[in-house]
Amino acid sequence: MLVLLSENTWLLYAVTFIFGALIGSFLNVVILRLPPRIMHEWRCQCRELLETPGEDDPAPPGLVLARSKCPACSYQLSALENIPLLSYLFLKGRCSSCKQKISPRYPVVEALTGLAFVLVVWKFGLSEQAAYAMVFTGFLLAMSGIDIDHQLLPDNLTLPLLWAGLLLSLGSGFTDPVSSLIGAAAGYLVLWFIYHLFKIATGREGMGYGDFKLLAAIGAWLGWQLLPQVILISSLVGAVTGIAMLAVNRNRKGQPIPFGPFLATAGWIALIWGDRINDAYHQYFGI
């Protein structure tokens, strides 16, 4: 099978897209279900710490075994209603039971994951690095969705991604162990420093600690050499997005904008084109 895929590029891309869409369907579950599970755990821990009487809340559905349901009417979806992309089209974007609109986010995440996986295979071919890059991509997409919804980058995702980057640098990862370790430390400390400077200057918090950990994870995966462009690209995209949202009155002045999706986007761009961007920069400035 691998030989057939390696000899037929378009078949390889088609299979990769389908696989990515399936993973995207699972990422939708993570984005939807992980934050309530984390918050439920926090509430239980707070009650235990404060010795507050009361019954525990029922645990939210798990990430793997629990069947998908319509968020509006709790109708349990069948297997045919869970096919990535196609089910949304066949159902015309509505629940088959209550006819409520289904969020377009579901097919968007599935399509984005599929396209991202195709670009990963285009970049790395059928290789170990392609598999690692798909894992990296999946984590970034899940964290972006959660941060958009809840302004939260959970340790359940940032820390495993950080440790995975450090460990992969010992073998066939994307950078060497020294660059990975320096990248993790520098990624965390740069945003930590900016955070405290902003807080001293304005008295407000400009970002959360989850952003520090995410940039540390990106540094661990890609090495410190790509961190400057990740910071620059994420800052530029974030600034343009913020200005655009203010211009169309979609974001009230002072309302926080999650920075995690911009870091994730810049980190993924660096994964695919980072070396080319650095080479072009060095060539342009003659460095």
CB half-sphere exposure, 8, CA atoms < 13 A: 11
Q: What is the pTM of this model?
A: 0.91
Q: What is the mean pLDDT of residues 176-183?
A: 96
Taking the C-alpha atoms of residue 84 and residue 21, their distance in angstroms, rounded to an integer, is: 6
- At 185 the three-state DSSP class reads helix
Integer angstrom CA distances of residue 10 from 7, 55, 134: 9, 56, 19
pLDDT digits (tens, 9 = 90+) for 29-48: 999 999 988 888 887 777 77
- The pair of structure tokens assigned to 160 is 């495993």
Taking the C-alpha atoms of residue 228 and residue 279, their distance in angstroms, rounded to an integer, is: 13
- The pLDDT score that the predictor gives to residue 3 is 67
Taking the C-alpha atoms of residue 143 and residue 134, their distance in angstroms, rounded to an integer, is: 14
CA-only gyration radius of the chain, Å: 21
- The pLDDT score that the predictor gives to residue 286 is 62
Q: What is the mean pLDDT of residues 115-129?
A: 95
Q: What is the mean pLDDT of residues 147-172?
A: 94
- At 94 the three-state DSSP class reads strand
Q: Among residues 186, 193, 255, 262, which one has the least CA distance to residue 219?
A: 186
**128-142, 165-179, 196-210: segment of lowest average pLDDT:** 196-210
Q: Report yes or no: 264 and 137 within 8 Å, Cβ to Cβ.
A: no
